[in-house]
């Protein structure tokens, strides 16, 4: 075997990384806030910590990844939505505490840097951040052929801000509260290990398959629907004067495991699956293929409910109207009872 005499021969192309980044820099530059003091490219991102209008500003941070949804994107050779996935997932994770996103950083670990994957992923990140008024403060691209092979990983880190007195903790959730579900448009970024097992191995579908249950949509198209951002709905509810006692982002663990993270130990949340008026067909298809019990389905997948708000009954209609005004379908999906901090799913 010939001994490599350059980094490029070892599998890392620095010049290509520079070229591809240059192609997407205008979109990244558009995802900024006034507090951002330097363009992307420095050793560290600079963000001025002055927050006019906040009396007691609290920073909220979160980190997450897209997971094996990236494998579906690779099969489809379609990478323009996974940037939205990571940004919107991270935004939702801090929005549940009442925080507004202020800056975002990404990490791409990849075996072999290539186009248009790189530009599509970073472009999606930039566009999603711009839509949420969140600055792309920086990021890291690590080309590691010995680590990732032909695969890649995508991780996001987000920082937001919230007034201390307006932090949403869930501690005020009480018996009689109404649980409002906000509709998802698909799996978002969770449950893909089971989804791939069911759809590709058990059922024998490919990403191009169009089972009748999906109404003409391919399996790949259904799986790659980008993670919904619920921040506009939360802002609309706040503007309408709605007090939200608690918010749960329904990610891995579904309604069963995510909701207890915010419940007081004196109450239970009871969800009724029959009250979900809209559920993407991909969920019913997977349940059918795997004969999944209800409890398992609602523990792995969001099953059509991407976020849950808990409000007093007299605020329910205003809350749902606010969500709808932001383009998010909303519906009553359950209620709060005296209990021990559990989330219960019934037919």
pLDDT per residue as tens digits for the range 63-104: 999 999 999 999 999 999 999 999 999 999 999 999 999 999
Sheet bearing 305-311, strands edge to edge? 246-249, 305-311, 178-183, 330-338, 267-272, 343-346
Per CATH, the number for 178-346 is 3.90.650.10
Answering whether pTM is above 0.95, one says no
| pLDDT score of 11 | 67
pLDDT computed for residue 1 by the predictor: 55
Residue ranges, CATH 3.30.1330.10, the chain: 14-166
Is 13's pLDDT higher than 80? no
CATH superfamily of 14-166: PurM-like, N-terminal domain (3.30.1330.10)
Q: What is the pLDDT of residues 210-239, one digit of tens each?
A: 999 999 999 999 999 999 999 999 999 999
pLDDT score for 4: 63
pLDDT band at 50 (very low <50, low <70, confident <90, very high): confident
pLDDT value at 17 more than 80? no
- Give me the pLDDT at residue 146, please: 85
Q: 62 pairs with which residues across the strands?
A: 158
Give the number of other CB atoms < 10 A from CB of residue 308. Answer: 25
> Start-end ranges of CATH 3.90.650.10 in the chain?
178-346
Average pLDDT over residues 132-157: 93
Chain centre distance of CA 11: 32
Give, in order, the Cα–Cα distances in Å from 252 to each of 113, 153, 188, 246.
29, 18, 10, 18
pLDDT at residue 9, as a whole number = 60
Burial class (CB in 10 A: 0-12, 13-18, 19+), 25: middle
Residue with the larger pLDDT of the pair 43 and 82: 82
How many Å apart are CA 256 and CA 260, to the nearest integer?
7
């Amino acid at each position: 075997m010939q001994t490599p005499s350059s980094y490029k021969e070892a599998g890392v192309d620095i010049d290509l990384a520079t070229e591809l980044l240059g192609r997407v820099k205008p979109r990244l530059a558009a995802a900024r806030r006034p507090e951002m003091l330097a363009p992307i490219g420095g050793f560290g991102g600079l963000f001025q910590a002055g927050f006019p209008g906040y009396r007691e500003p609290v920073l909220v941070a979160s980190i997450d990844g897209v997971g094996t949804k990236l494998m579906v994107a690779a099969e489809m050779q379609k990478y323009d939505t996974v940037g939205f996935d990571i940004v919107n997932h991270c935004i939702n994770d801090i929005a549940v505490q009442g925080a507004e996103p202020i800056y975002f950083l990404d990490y791409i670990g990849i075996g072999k840097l290539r186009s248009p994957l790189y530009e599509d992923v970073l472009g999606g990140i930039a566009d999603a951040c711009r839509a949420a008024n969140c600055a792309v403060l920086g990021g890291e691209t690590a080309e590691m052929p010995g680590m990732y092979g032909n695969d890649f990983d995508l991780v996001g880190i987000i920082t937001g801000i919230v007034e201390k007195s307006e932090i949403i903790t869930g501690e005020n959730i009480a018996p009689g509260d109404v649980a409002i579900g906000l509709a998802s448009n698909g799996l978002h970024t969770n449950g893909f290990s089971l989804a791939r097992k069911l759809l590709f191995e058990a059922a024998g579908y490919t990403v191009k398959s169009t089972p009748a249950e999906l109404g003409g949509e391919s399996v790949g198209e259904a799986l790659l629907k980008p993670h919904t951002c619920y921040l506009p709905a939360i802002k609309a509810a706040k503007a309408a004067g709605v007090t939200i006692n608690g918010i749960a982002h329904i990610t891995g663990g579904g309604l069963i495991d995510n909701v207890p993270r915010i419940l007081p130990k004196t109450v239970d949340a009871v969800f009724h699956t029959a009250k979900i008026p809209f559920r993407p067909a991909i969920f019913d298809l997977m349940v059918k293929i795997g004969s999944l019990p209800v409890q398992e389905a609602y523990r792995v997948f969001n099953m059509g409910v991407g976020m849950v708000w808990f409000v007093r009954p007299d605020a329910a209609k205003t809350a749902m109207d606010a969500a709808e005004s932001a383009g998010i379908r909303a519906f009553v999906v359950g209620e709060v009872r005296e209990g021990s901090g559990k989330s219960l799913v019934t037919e």
